Chains A and B, each alone.
Chain A
Amino acid sequence: MRKMLALMTGGGTLFGGASLAHANGWNMPVGVTDLSAEIYTLHMTIFWICVVIGIVVFGVMFYSLFKFRRSKGAKSAHFHENTTVEVIWTAVPLLILVGMAVPATATLQKMYDASDAELDVMITGQQWRWRYEYLGEDVAFNSNMSTPRAQITGEEERGEHYLLEVDEPLVLPINRKVRFLLTADDVIHSWWVPDFAVKQDTIPGFINENWVRINEPGIYRGQCAELCGMDHGFMPIVVHAMEEDEFDQWLVERKEAAEAEAMGVDREWEMDELMERGEQVYGSICASCHQADGGGSPPAFPGLAGNQELIDDVDWHIDVVLNGVSGTAMPAFRSNLNPVELAAVVTYSRNAWGNDTGDAVQPAEIVELLE
C-alpha cells in the first residue's frame, strides 16, 4: 500500500510537471507541512483511482460505440440483466472507497489534533482585512492588501504578487506547532494558505481551531476563501515563516514597539501628528467602505465628507467608531485599534475633505471612554 501510494504520488509529479514544494500552477501544492504533503498524497491517490476507473469505463463505452454501430451492421443482443455483474460492479467501488476512507480518516485525526501548541495566534476576519493577535504577547496588528488601486484598474503595471501582497504579513516560526484561533467580527470569512493546507472559516461569535507546523522558511500566500461581501477578492493572506531565533527576535521588537505606542497615550498630540497618523489608519481600515475621498457608497456605506451629523456631534462620531452601529455593516473598532489610532482616525475624518471642524481628539480622551 505504501509503495502504491508512493508510486501514485510519483505519477502525480509527472502530471503536475514539477515536484516543487510550491504551487506548480496546475495542481495542488505539496506544501510545506507534513499534513499538506499527506493531503497532496490523498489527492493524487483518489485522482489516479478516478483515472483508472475512467479508462476502464470510457474504454468499454467507446469500444461499444465503435464496435456496435448499426452502420456496421450490428444487431442488438437481448440481455438486460445479470445479477453477478451487478453485484461485482457495486462491490468493487465499495471496497475501493473503504480503502480510501482509511488513510483519509487517519489524516483527519491528525488535522483535528491542535493540542500541545507552542504559540497561539488569534486570527480575526474583518471586512476586508485580517487581524492577527499573538496571544499572551501583547502583539497585534491588521494586515491589509497593499496592491495599489492603480494596478487593479490597469493604470499601472501589475506586480509579481498582484493581489497577493499585504502591508504587514503574519510572521510565524518554523518547526513550532502554532495553534490558530479563528473568529470574525462581521460576516464569515475563511483563512486559507494552500501551502499549509489550512483552510478554516472564521465565524462571528464563534472560535474555530486549526494548527500548522511549517517545515521551511519562506513567504506563503493565500486568500480569503468565503464570500464576504464587496472586497472578498481583495483580502489576501501573507505568511512570513522565519527561523526560530529570527522569529523570537522579531517578536521582541514588536513588543517594544507596542509599548512605545502605549506610552504615547498619555501625552498631548499635535494636530499634524494626529492627521498624519489618522490618514494612514483611515486608508487601511475605513477607506474600503467609506472611500478614500470620504464619499462612501450610499445607501450601504454613508459618506463622511460633509456629513452634517458627524460634523455637528463629536461625541456621536466617537461613539460610532468605538461601538459600531448594530444592524449595519459598521463594526465596533474599540478593540481592533489602539487609543492613538482611534483618536487619530476620528480627528482625521473630522478635518479632512473640507469637514474642517478643527477638533483634535486626544488619545487620552479615548482611553477614558474605553474604561
Chain B
Amino acid sequence: MWGVIKSVLAAFFGVQKERQRRHDFEHGKPGAFILVGLLMAVVFVVVIAALAIYVAG
C-alpha cells in the first residue's frame, strides 16, 4: 500500500525512477493506482483549500 502511495506521489510530482515504474506497470494492479490516485487528488484539493482558508483568516 505504501508503495502504491509513493508511486502515486511520484506521478503527481512527475518524476519516477525507471526501475520502479517498470515494476509498478508489470506487477501493480491498475485499480489500486487509480483508486489511490483519486484519493490523493482529493487530499491535494483539501490541503490547498485548507491552506487558502487558513491564510485568508
Enumerate chain A interface residues (CB-CB to B < 8 A). Answer: 81, 83, 86-87, 90, 105, 109
Contacts and interface: CB of A to CB of B under 8 A. Distances in A.
Nearest to B13: A90
Q: Sorted from nearest, which 4 A-B pairs have the closest CB atoms?
A: A86-B15, A87-B15, A83-B17, A81-B18
Interface in B1-56: 13-18, 55-56
Nearest to B19: A83
A105 B55 CA distance: 8
Contacts of A81: 18
Q: Is the interface of A mostly helix, strand, loop or mixed?
A: helix
Contacts of B17: 83
7 contacts: A83-B15, A83-B16, A83-B18, A86-B14, A87-B13, A109-B55, A109-B57
Nearest to A89: B15
Contacts of A90: 13-15
A87 B9 CA distance: 13
Nearest to B20: A83
Contacts of A105: 55
A105 B51 CA distance: 11
Contacts of B16: 83
Contacts of B15: 83, 86-87, 90
Contacts of A86: 14-15
Contacts of B13: 87, 90
B49 to A, nearest CB: 15
Contacts of B55: 105, 109
A87 B56 CA distance: 31
B26 to A, nearest CB: 17
Contacts of A87: 13, 15
Contacts of A109: 55-57
A83 B18 CA distance: 8
A111 B41 CA distance: 31
Contacts of A83: 15-18
A87 B17 CA distance: 10
B14 to A, nearest CB: 6
Given A105-B55, A109-B56, 10 more contacts: A83-B15, A83-B17, A83-B18, A86-B14, A86-B15, A87-B13, A90-B13, A90-B14, A109-B55, A109-B57
